[in-house]
Amino acid sequence: MALLDMARRKGIYIEAAHVNYHQRNTADRDEKLVRDYCRKYDIPFHLLDSDPDSYKGNFQANAREERYRFFAGVCAERRLDGVLIAHQKDDLIETYLMQKERKLGVGRYGLAESNEICKVKVIRPLLKWNRKDILDYCQENAVPYGIDESNLSDAYTRNRIRHETVEKMSDAEKEEILEEIAKKNEEKARVEEAVSLFLEKDVYQTDEFLSFPYVKTVVRKLLPAKSKTFIEETLRQIRESDRCRIGNEDMILVKEYGTVSFFKVPEPYSYSFASPEEIKEKDFPYFKIRKTGNSNQAVTLLEDDFPLTIRSFRQGDAIRMRYGTKKIRRFFIDRKIPLRKRMIWPVVVNGKGEIILMPGIGCDLNHYSEKPDLFVIEY
């Protein structure tokens, strides 16, 4: 309410967004308080009337997610620049102490003056104010407000830290904590800059990767939301294994052939051609079709090969050569083809489901001639 009043008095164009979670007896009182203020000063008012029975698990986390999705929707619909949040100095200190207690890996210690949540800019203009200053402002300027009685309970970690620690701090002690937060964020920024420079490459010699002083931060950045134990195990595998692959559905970290690399997992692809007339010289994301090329990229097409498909490699793929059937995986191993290239390597499959060309190996037994009519060239 103090922030709403300050913004109004400064002449900033504002709209108010309020969430009623119906979790306490005074929830409707607070909704009316905000609604009446907005009506008095002709401020557009947006309400999210939340279903109290819809929450499962961690209420605080779920409520926060719902709240910011609501804010983002209002900003998009009303073409607003962002969200003003009334976090103040004590909130900043409480957040930092919670981070320390839980030993959380965080992007920033405490609270940022501005950041992005749900793709919306969030600004916290009151971080230099303490709770008493804000209460004084409300009283001096006749700003109506209500006390959330759930803040008086120690059921939540934040409330316990507030009552047992922050409220007992002197102003000098709070300033010391704020200096500590600032120094930690400065150091974190230096580390992040070094990591960003390091990650401008995506392939490293193994020793180069492991000797980087912030290698744990690198792994955490590449594979977020992973535990310290996971990060330690990842580094152990890189140190001790000749080959290893660690990752998730988005990013893969690989050690192979004396190097460490990382890349986003590519989507499998498949292109179909119903007739010879559809096959023209063209560049695709991972290969190109040409009328000339190397002999191991060439195939002579037969009439019954259609519909023809060019798709990404799959585990188990094999091609029948003059000297017998060759597993494509074996070719990759013999040629030391990196995993990232294997996952996007093209193979040509005829209408019978037979692989008739594997660029790099060549065509199968039945599709060789001195005058090939299709060259598939991998990037």
Same domain, 68 and 154: yes
Residue 104: its pLDDT value, please? Answer: 66
Same structural domain, 128 and 247 = no
- Do 253 and 278 lie in one domain? The reply is no
Q: Out of 223, 248, 264, pick the residue that ends a domain.
A: 264
Same-domain check for residues 229 and 300: no
pTM of the model: 0.69
Residues 231 and 163 occupy one common structural domain: no
Could you tell me the residue range of the domain that residue 256 belongs to? 202-264
For residue 15, tell me if it sits in a domain: yes
Residues 15 and 116 in one domain: yes
> How far apart are alpha carbons 9 and 115 in whole angstroms?
25
Check residue 59 and give its pLDDT: 83
249 domain residue, yes or no: yes
Let me know if residue 183 belongs to a domain.
no
The residues, any chain, with a CB within 8 Å of residue 121's CB and separated by 6 or more, are 81, 82, 83, 114, 115
Shared domain for 18 and 161, answered yes or no, is: yes
Q: 255 and 162 in one domain?
A: no
How large is the average pLDDT for residues 5-27? 95
Looking at residues 252-281, what average pLDDT do you find?
96
DSSP-assigned states of every residue in 209-259: HHTSTTHHHHHHHHS-S--HHHHHHHHHHHHH-SSEEEE-SSEEEEEETTE
Give the pLDDT confidence of 310-328 residue by residue, as tens digits. Answer: 999 999 999 999 889 999 9
Q: What is the C-alpha to C-alpha distance for residues 376 and 283, in angstroms, rounded to an integer?
A: 10
In the predicted model, is pLDDT for residue 5 greater than 70? Answer: yes
Work out the mean pLDDT of the chain and round it to a whole number: 94
pLDDT at 224 over 90: no
- Contact, 346 vs 374, CB < 8 A? no
Is residue 98 domain-resident?
yes
